[in-house]
Amino acid sequence: MCGIVGYVGNEEAVPVLIEGLRKLEYRGYDSAGVAVLGKPGLVVRKAKGALKNLEEKIKVETGGSTLTAGSLANSVLSGTMGIGHTRWATHGEPSDTNAHPQVDVSGKIAVVHNGIIENYARLRDWLIERGVQFTSETDTEIIANLISYHYKGDLLQAVLDAVGRLDGSWALVVISVDDPDRIIAVRKENPLVLGQGAGETLVGSDVPALLEYTREVYYLEDREIAVLYRDHVDFYNDEGKSIQKKTTHIEWDAAAAEKGGYEHFMLKEIHEQPKALTDTLRPRIITADAGGVNDTAGNKGAVTNNAKKISLEEIGFDASWAQANRVMITACGTAWHAGVIGKYAFEHFARIPVDVDTASEFRYRDPIFNPKDIFIIISQSGETADTLAAMRMAKKGGARIIAITNVVGSTLAREADLVMYTWAGPEIAVASTKAFTTQLMCINLIALQFGVLRGTIDPVHLNKYINALEAIPAQAEKILSGKENIQRFASLQFNKNKVFFMGRLFDYAASLESALKLKEICYTHSEAFAAGELKHGPIALVDTSTLVVAICTQTKLFDKMESSITQVKARGASIAVITWEDDAESGRFDRIADEKFRIPRTEDALSPILSVIPAQLFAYYCSVLRGLDPDKPRNLAKSVTVE
């Protein structure tokens, strides 16, 4: 959540900061601000609401139609070092006063902050006793004044002393009038990334803010400190001792984080799914020598299937996996829904018990670990606070951690024992789409390979499933080519205030994600339930104002689904069915559904990768028809880095 940008270089800082914050708008925020070290000293400008409000305020002040070096040249905002922030309110309502940056009482130190300071009340009282008068309700203003209290001529030491007294989570970027040539950045449980261009250095809370200037970046680890100069960066540990860090190369460029002609990032990312699925799958399917049974390292984990094999060397897939007695999966939100599907997949393909938990619950219960457990953590960003806490708990319990994430260099990727990347490319819209389907691709590959290792998948069936996986990107493209039908249906249903999704087995898991998409971006009361639970409560809410979307791809349960659909239709609900095309059995739904969305036939166990796409499109079009911004749903953030 929230966006941080810092710049020190030779250019005017304000345009760099504003543009960097614009690249981070997807993270969620309700106010924005910048602080610049200019000729008169520290100058701060802030505005409640959208970033454009701040931009317009600065334009009016500088008299320019755009924010350029020329319009800023004679302004108090002229300066080549500054920090910026988009804030998501935690302590104090969204307002100009509570927006970041926050400044100490001397007006010399400015701070931007992501995260929450848990002992802020005690620190606030302590500072008030020492004469500090606060102007905001934020915990961030406490940090600025705590640094000021400890400042004795060395800003780095003052920051070290201040953070040593903080409880909670933070990513801090600090500037001071008395230290006009450098920026201090430090993190704990909230991401910060740094990069150097030609005569300029930047820091941000995520990579897109830096990509215009460099694709070689540094990731800060917990409690590490970076000191940014125009021409270099120095790194220190929490004791102030100098350390060395290596850069990470970002494969995707700035253009990948742009809309590319689409009206919204969400629609672009829905359309990117065929490529993302291909990119995730292709490197993990390789041609095998006829009759071969092992990979190049002699591992049984790459057993052939006549012509092809699954290769998962990146997660150390070897015979030691066969000793596992259980798979544990934990995640939050959309990634948790992928985990639910993962439970079904592992039990179906590998015949092994699976526990799946939301990370926010898992970390507070008293879980039982076994060193033989396979512990899978799923997170698009790799920075989700509850998910990271669950991973650290599992590591202490002796579990082997396998991370599935989309972000190279993320905290999850760095701390897990082994990592499987989804290769979905940057996902900017808050509502996840391509990250979800590529997570499912990874999960199915692991589950299938685990089944091979355990002897529950034979070469014939493995061959069948690999062929089905390879067909999915083209099948996804086919669904997208018929999006006009979904758009038309959305135009008839977008004002529904009560929408239920139901299914069984894999379809129930897909219903969870489908309902979430509508809830996130349309603010519609949207609920998912297992169709067998219909009579255990949900049917009491069904009436003529209800839309029920039934996902029907589990062929052996078509009779059961037909019965459930008939019951809700008898109570006046509108019915949409997502089911197979060119399938005689699925034809039974024609007579009872008001609308059918037919998807290409794949294996029943792989169906969620395809069945969720019509639901994604339906949610998108409903959001647009309601006049909402599907990329920036209210109160939500892309990366939830606080509890």
CA 23 to chain centre: 15
Q: Is the pLDDT of residue 84 over 60?
A: yes
Closest C-alpha to 606, from 475, 478, 502: 475
pLDDT digits (tens, 9 = 90+) for 457-477: 988 899 899 999 999 999 999
The one-letter amino acid at 148: S
Residue 622: phi and psi, rounded to 5, are -65, -40
Active site residue 2: yes
Cα–Cα distance for residue pair 480/485, rounded to 1 Å: 10
Give mean pLDDT, residues 590-596.
Answer: 86
Q: HSE (CB half, 13 Å, CA atoms) of 455?
A: 3
CA dihedral 312, 316, 322, 326 (to 10 degrees): -90
CB atoms within 10 A of CB 475: 21
Q: Is the pLDDT of residue 305 over 80?
A: no
Pairing of strands 400-405, 418-421: parallel
Q: Is the pLDDT of residue 505 over 60?
A: yes
CA 320 to chain centre: 31
Q: Is the pLDDT of residue 299 over 50?
A: no
Per-residue pLDDT band for 85 (boundaries 50, 70, 90) equals very high
Active site residue 268: no
* Whole-number pLDDT of residue 291: 46
CA dihedral 615, 512, 380, 386 (to 10 degrees): 150
**Span of 54-58, 514-518, 631-635 with lowest mean pLDDT:** 631-635
Pairing of strands 242-243, 31-38: unpaired
pLDDT digits (tens, 9 = 90+) for 207-256: 889 988 998 999 998 899 999 999 999 999 989 999 999 998 887 766 67
Cα–Cα distance for residue pair 288/304, rounded to 1 Å: 6
Percent of the chain whose pLDDT exceeds 70: 95
pTM of the model: 0.78
List the structure tokens of 151.
Answer: 């400042």
pLDDT digits (tens, 9 = 90+) for 104-131: 999 999 999 998 898 999 999 999 999 9
In the block, residue with structure tokens 């039934």: 550
407 and 380 Cβ atoms separated by less than 8 Å: yes
Per-residue pLDDT band for 409 (boundaries 50, 70, 90) equals confident
* Whole-number pLDDT of residue 306: 53
419 and 405 Cβ atoms separated by less than 8 Å: yes
Which positions ≥6 away from 372 have C-beta within 8 Å? Answer: 323, 324, 325, 326
pLDDT digits (tens, 9 = 90+) for 521-557: 999 899 999 998 888 888 888 888 889 999 999 999 9
* Whole-number pLDDT of residue 157: 95
Residue 183: phi and psi, rounded to 5, are -115, 140
Q: What domains can you pick out in the chain, each with its CATH number?
A: 3-257 (3.60.20.10), 268-479 (3.40.50.10490), 482-625 (3.40.50.10490)
In the block, residue with structure tokens 């970027």: 173
Length of the chain as a residue count = 643
Give mean pLDDT, residues 611-616.
Answer: 96
569 and 589 Cβ atoms separated by less than 8 Å: no
CA 57 to chain centre: 31
Closest C-alpha to 335, from 274, 253, 391: 391
Cα–Cα distance for residue pair 4/186, rounded to 1 Å: 12
246 and 260 Cβ atoms separated by less than 8 Å: no
Three-state helix/strand/coil letters over 581-628: CCCCHHHHHHHCCCEEEEECCCCHHHCHHHHHHHHHHHHHHHHHHCCC
The one-letter amino acid at 393: M
* Whole-number pLDDT of residue 254: 66
* Whole-number pLDDT of residue 298: 38
Cα–Cα distance for residue pair 394/371, rounded to 1 Å: 10
* Whole-number pLDDT of residue 641: 57
195 and 120 Cβ atoms separated by less than 8 Å: no
Closest C-alpha to 432, from 357, 508, 381: 381
* Whole-number pLDDT of residue 294: 41
Query: How open is the CA angle 441-445-447, to the nearest 5 degrees?
Result: 115
Per-residue pLDDT band for 639 (boundaries 50, 70, 90) equals low
Cα–Cα distance for residue pair 524/608, rounded to 1 Å: 22
Cα–Cα distance for residue pair 527/537, rounded to 1 Å: 12
7 and 182 Cβ atoms separated by less than 8 Å: no
Exposure of 38 by Cβ count < 10 A (0-12 exposed, 13-18 middle, 19+ buried)? buried
Strand order in the sheet with 574-580: 525-530, 498-503, 547-552, 574-580, 595-599
Give mean pLDDT, residues 501-523.
Answer: 94
Cα–Cα distance for residue pair 9/625, rounded to 1 Å: 44
Q: Is the pLDDT of residue 410 over 50?
A: yes
The answer for 88, left when phi > 0, alpha when psi is -120 to 50, beta otherwise, is beta
**Span of 16-30, 286-300, 302-316, 348-362 with lowest mean pLDDT:** 286-300
Pairing of strands 374-379, 327-331: parallel
